[in-house]
């Protein structure tokens, strides 16, 4: 029986008699996983004792966050939450939150203006991470996306969540 995460890779010889060192590349491994590799030598007598080594695969950028939800709103703030992206590709060191809105410029009774993008950081926490966007325009529409960072770099932005900072929404 193979355990989850085991590869069960087998390579058989023959190997040249004059070769003292062998190299084997194992591909298709998952990021940021500890693997144990064991090598056995076989002869006409049978299998010899194994020699093992343990190694971690490298971290990668995180996967896209898929579960951003709005927790609460006031007239000038929006609170969102989300889970760490899965599967893990390394510890999340921070989250970036991007929120996009249209600036307010009163023009003959119309409120229009340039589209503005702002960013804020959010500290990871165990379980769901909660972030608040404060000092927003009252009762304004926002498009909010989140992405995580490992020490390797950022993941992709989440699908934007459309939200108005209006209590009870």
End-to-end CA distance of the chain: 52
Cβ atoms within 10 Å of 53's Cβ, excluding its own: 9
Chain centre distance of CA 125: 14
Residue 64 in any domain: the answer is no
Place of tokens 């992206």: 85
**Tens of pLDDT, residues 48-86:** 998 999 999 999 999 999 999 999 999 899 999 999 999
**37 falls within a domain:** no
In a domain, 108, yes or no: yes
CB–CB of 39/11 below 8 Å?
no
Assign 4 a pLDDT band (cuts: 50, 70, 90).
very low
Q: Is residue 111 in some structural domain?
A: yes
Q: Which residue has the tokens 């989300």?
A: 82
Q: pLDDT, tens digit, for every residue of 125-161?
A: 887 899 999 989 888 889 999 999 999 999 999 999 9
- Residue 2 — pLDDT band, cuts 50, 70, 90? very low
**Domain count of the chain?**
1
Q: How large is the average pLDDT for residues 27-36? A: 90
Supply the CATH number for residue 157's domain.
2.60.40.10
- Confirm whether 89 is domain-assigned: yes
The model scores a pTM over 0.85:
no
Residue 144 is assigned to a structural domain of this protein: yes
Q: Residue 22 domain-assigned? A: no
Q: Which domain range does residue 106 map to?
A: 69-164
The answer to whether position 169 is within a domain reads no
């Amino acid at each position: 029986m193979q355990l989850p995460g085991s590869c069960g890779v087998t390579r058989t010889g023959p190997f040249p008699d004059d070769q003292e060192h062998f190299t084997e590349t194992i591909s298709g491994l998952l990021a940021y996983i500890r693997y144990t590799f064991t090598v056995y030598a076989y002869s006409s007598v049978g299998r010899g004792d194994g020699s093992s080594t343990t190694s971690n695969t490298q971290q990668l950028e995180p996967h896209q966050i898929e579960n951003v939800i709005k927790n609460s709103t006031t007239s000038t703030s929006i609170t969102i939450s989300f889970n760490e992206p899965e599967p893990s590709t390394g510890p999340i060191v921070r989250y970036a939150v991007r929120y996009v809105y249209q600036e307010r410029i009163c023009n003959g009774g119309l409120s229009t203006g340039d589209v503005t993008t702002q960013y804020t950081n959010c500290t990871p926490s165990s379980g769901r991470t909660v972030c608040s966007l404060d000092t927003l325009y009252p009762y304004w529409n926002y498009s909010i996306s989140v992405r995580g960072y490992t020490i390797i770099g950022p993941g992709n932005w989440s699908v934007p969540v459309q939200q108005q900072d209006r209590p009870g929404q």
